[in-house]
A and B are shown apart, each in its own frame.
Chain A
């Protein structure tokens, strides 16, 4: 089984790989996008309009077999991943071939079949942590407007209740709430925090809306200004710091605060800020078999159908070299959460700050102060 200790032991090797091209390593963080189809109509995303000649399960089988036990973290993305008819089988294939530590699936929480599929995945992948993050962009009608689906919020509440019930019998299931902070939602982040706080969900995570080639959102005014984001996210940081976490949660929350601060800096400085490891440690496989270093640039590194479904042929091939040069030369920068968390694991100052925070005895604010902060939010 892939462990977090195994991940950390690979950090120095990936740092060498990025700098010197050796030792050659397969990515530990992989996003699979089996289909762009989605039943949401979000203001911040246009992927649902796309149609692709999607990889079949047999094709995914070969691709995942070629990865061996390298990936620790899989994200099954979309579109709406839990609408993809073979999502259970896809997760099972990833589990059988790669034994990842984590399988992470975002969902719009619309379809009634979602709890059944989640249960089947959790049972089929018993030694992986399955994280299901429900997308929440507003409370009540605001959510429905941003997501473009009337009644979505009510369905989200139903699914959340169902998944929280499931969690009691599935020890490997984590249920979270995920919010995209866009120009449409930045003004009501406090409401989202308050909702998540009382929801019973295991975690509340946010990601800034950003233009991506994958989503066909380049040029669209969806990203909040650095100032608006900073003011909103500072409130979230205060909220997170007002809570007391133990064990693994203490590490993940410390990393989250680092991520929020990193995003602020990226927006202000318009720079990579810390080295990006997309193309070395993280990658994405799109529905049609194309391998990308990340979904923001979505450089076509090659199609697995043209490479015998062998991921290594593309990852260790020639075409990726120019893309790696470009990323290392900081010709791009973005706050993509998936890549950023991986990048932070490979950034020594970030790791030092997180370690210091985790090792520090947790005093936190007094219960009275926590209550005041919660009231403020």
Chain B
């Protein structure tokens, strides 16, 4: 993977208090404004909690329906390494 360090780096970043609200608001706006974004996915951290591990793999959520990160009761709090990732139309086209 190109720039694999950056993927790990992002997982390791401490989250802002309003990480979920701010990120999902951006994606909501992106979809409303007809960008290439079609939804949001959750990439669990390698050391994530059981609840994160049990999330459906590769599920694409509407920002209104995506689980809030950190998940409730996550023992790592703002150090939770799970992240949101925008899902773009061209990624879905590639999968077909």
Contacts and interface: CB of A to CB of B under 8 A. Distances in A.
A210 B86 contact: no
A64 interface: no
Contacts of A296: 6
B64 interface: no
Contacts of A218: 6-7, 10, 85
Nearest to A218: B10
A367 interface: no
Contacts of B5: 331-333
A297 B33 contact: no
B35 A51 contact: no
A238 to B, nearest CB: 25
Interface string B28-39: 011001111100
Contacts of B43: 219
A330 to B, nearest CB: 9
Interface residues of A, number: 25
A354 B46 CA distance: 44
B36 A332 contact: no
B2 interface: yes
Contact of A220 (B4, B9, B33, B91): B91
B79 to A, nearest CB: 14
B6 A221 contact: no
B85 A41 contact: no
Interface in B45-96: 85-86, 88, 90-91, 94
B26 A216 contact: yes
Interface string A59-92: 0000000000000000000000000000000000
B3 A211 contact: yes
A212 to B, nearest CB: 8
B58 to A, nearest CB: 12
Interface in B3-20: 3-7, 9-10, 13
A267 B26 CA distance: 30
Interface in A262-315: 267, 270, 296-297
B35 A48 contact: yes
Contact of B36 (A43, A51, A333, A334): A43
Contacts of B86: 46, 216, 220
B9 A297 contact: yes
8 pairs of A and B residues whose beta carbons are closest in the complex: A49-B30, A49-B26, A41-B35, A219-B85, A223-B2, A49-B29, A218-B10, A50-B26
Given A213-B13, A270-B3, A331-B5, 6 more contacts: A48-B33, A218-B6, A220-B88, A270-B4, A297-B6, A331-B9
